[in-house]
Amino acid sequence: MNRLKDIGLVDNVTLFPHGLIESSVAPREAARGDAKGPYLLASYGFFLPHKGLHTLIRAVGLLRKNGVDVKLRMVNAEYNVAQSRLLIQKARELITDLGLDQHVELHTDFLDDQESFALLTEADLIVFPYEDTGESASGAVRYGIAAKRPVAVTPLPIFDDVREAVFELPGQDADSISIGVQSFLAELSMNSELARQKASDAERWRTAHQQKRLSARLERMLMALHIKHHHHSWFAS
């Protein structure tokens, strides 16, 4: 909106939210951990530089060093550019270098939405460890929210429009991500007041952003513009 304002577009501009795709896959209810087996983290989106995926791998290494039994499922498709392929290759090398081959799984094929949801809904926490980016909104984070699992994001403006529905990590570096993830997993395992409140906020956000609800809203806006246009045309004649 500010960019449009800078070029003089104000009166004929409104901000309309992204709709949220619906998952047909039922999520698990509770977090794992302790006797239930390792926690499962997940990531989602194209494998691109600003996604912070190498940092997330390092954070998983730190968590395991600190005694947190955690695995990472990376649902991050290769984008059709050489840079993406190189990032995936480096991720595989990093996983091996950190001794995480048995604890990190990579899914780099492009999957349809429901296949992705089937992988994401098993996670205890879906993490979006983005680095600084000029993008104004994230499409990928909406899939995490739509999967009906807890979501954690780095403290960046790209996530401003989903802030109420997600946990916010304390920073973007591996240490901050590992500290934040460990704290959130503890809250989720205890089903604490914070965990319950965030689940409620996320459900309310999902309801407000359903595609059928937003499509009805858009139809009303278009009808209002149509009526206004004909009203002005009638008076002008």
CATH of the domain at 99: 3.40.50.2000
The model's pLDDT over 130-156, given as tens digits with 9 standing for 90+, comes to 998 766 668 899 999 999 999 999 999
Judge whether 150 lies within some domain: yes
Low-confidence ranges of the chain (pLDDT < 50): 16, 35
Judge whether 228 lies within some domain: no
pLDDT at 197: 97
The model's pLDDT over 21-46, given as tens digits with 9 standing for 90+, comes to 676 666 666 556 554 679 999 999 99
- The domain of 66 spans 21-210
pLDDT at 43: 98
Judge whether 6 lies within some domain: no
- Type and span of the H or E element at 152: strand 151-153
Judge whether 126 lies within some domain: yes
pLDDT at 207: 87
Judge whether 225 lies within some domain: no
Place of tokens 């089937």: 118
Among the listed residues 42, 54, 57, 53, the one whose alpha carbon sits nearest the alpha carbon of residue 116: 42
Eight-class DSSP state of 210: B
pLDDT at 77: 98
Read off the tokens for 223: 């009808």
Please give the model's pTM, rounded to 2 decimal places: 0.83
pLDDT at 136: 62
Judge whether 12 lies within some domain: no
Judge whether 1 lies within some domain: no
Judge whether 89 lies within some domain: yes
For the chain, what is the domain count?
A: 1
What residues contact 171, with CB distance under 8 A and at least 6 apart?
Answer: 154, 155, 177, 180
Dist CA 27 CA 130 (whole Å): 24
pLDDT at 132: 84
